[in-house]
Amino acid sequence: MLWIGILIAVLSGALMSVQGVCNTGATKAAGLWVTGTFVSLTAAAVCLLLWFVTGREGDFSALMQIRPRYLLLGGVLGAFITGTVVLSIAKLGTARAEMVIVLAQLVTAYVISVCGWLGSEQEAFSWSRLCALGIALAGVMWYSC
């Protein structure tokens, strides 16, 4: 089962990179927020279609019961993610931007995990994991030279 999770994560990362490039290209023609709106609306349409096709797991009324409320900010964050990915790819190029984005994700995820923020299970601090993040940072810096 671990390998299935890893394969899904690899697919997710690949799709994020392809999406970033596509969104950056579309932004050149239509503008950042028009493209972001289109991306969000098409994502919503696909999610609704999949919800109908896969048996309608979940209930929209359950969203009103979610606590803490900040857990519902995914769409708001998604708008800023789309914008910042597009702008970073335009400024840094695809590979460099994606490397920095992934490094920022790793560092942020590690801090969230160690601190137990946002309802995540708290994990112990590890010097070896911190060193691994340092090596990743060195790799991004080396690539950028």
Q: What tens digit of pLDDT does each residue of 27-36 get? A: 999 999 999 9
pLDDT of residue 89: 96
pLDDT digit string, tens, across residues 41-74? 999 999 999 999 999 899 999 999 999 999 999 9
Evaluate if residue 1 carries a pLDDT over 90: no
Residue 27 burial class via C-beta count within 10 angstroms: exposed 0-12, middle 13-18, buried 19 and up: buried
pLDDT digit string, tens, across residues 75-89? 999 999 999 999 999
pLDDT of residue 142: 94
φ/ψ bin of 84: left (φ > 0), alpha (ψ from -120 to 50), beta (otherwise): alpha
